[in-house]
Amino acid sequence: MKKLLVLMLVAAAATSASAQTRAPAPAPQGTPTPAPASPLDGQWRGTSDGGSCNAPLDYQLTIESGIVDGSAYDTTARGPVPNPNKSAPPPPGPGLWQIHGLAKAGSFNLLSVASVKGTQHQRMQLAARSEGSSLVVTERSGCKRTARLARG
């Protein structure tokens, strides 16, 4: 029994010694290059006009390496209210829009998706363009609102 234990210890020592003499794994060649910065990178904020719906949106966009992520919030959206007439309430409009896309020089398109309940799904295309030190975002459908955003 003692001979078996001694043989196992010697084998374990030999295995760990051979494992320690291995060459380290080669380092990856080069370092990953970060995505190039876009001239539109930064935080953009602003409020749109009311458009045909008379409901302005507060925009907050972040552009990082040309990737656009943000939201637009309807400042006129309200929660449920009492209904004394017992009639059907009007359908609620979307109060929060999620905005995504890729910023490019000149003009570019953005996708806006409404945050609504149930199976209802609303999407809207936005057109954005750089004008001097501002970013102009226009709805292509729906209320046709236009917002002028400033870097903040």
Q: What six digits make up the tokens of 77?
A: 């959206």
pLDDT top residue among 46 and 152:
46
User: Across all residues in the chain, what is the average pLDDT?
Assistant: 81
Nearest to 51, CA basis, from 97, 102, 104, 118: 97
Domain count, the chain: 1
Question: pTM (2 decimals)?
Answer: 0.67
Which domain does 105 fall in, by range? 34-76+93-112+119-133
Q: Looking at residues 49-77, what average pLDDT do you find?
A: 90
Q: How many CA atoms lie within 13 A of 49 on its CB side?
A: 9
Task: Give the range among 61-70, 72-81, 124-133 with minimum mean pLDDT.
Answer: 72-81
**What's the residue count for the chain?**
152
- For residue 53, tell me if it sits in a domain: yes
Is 20 a domain residue? no
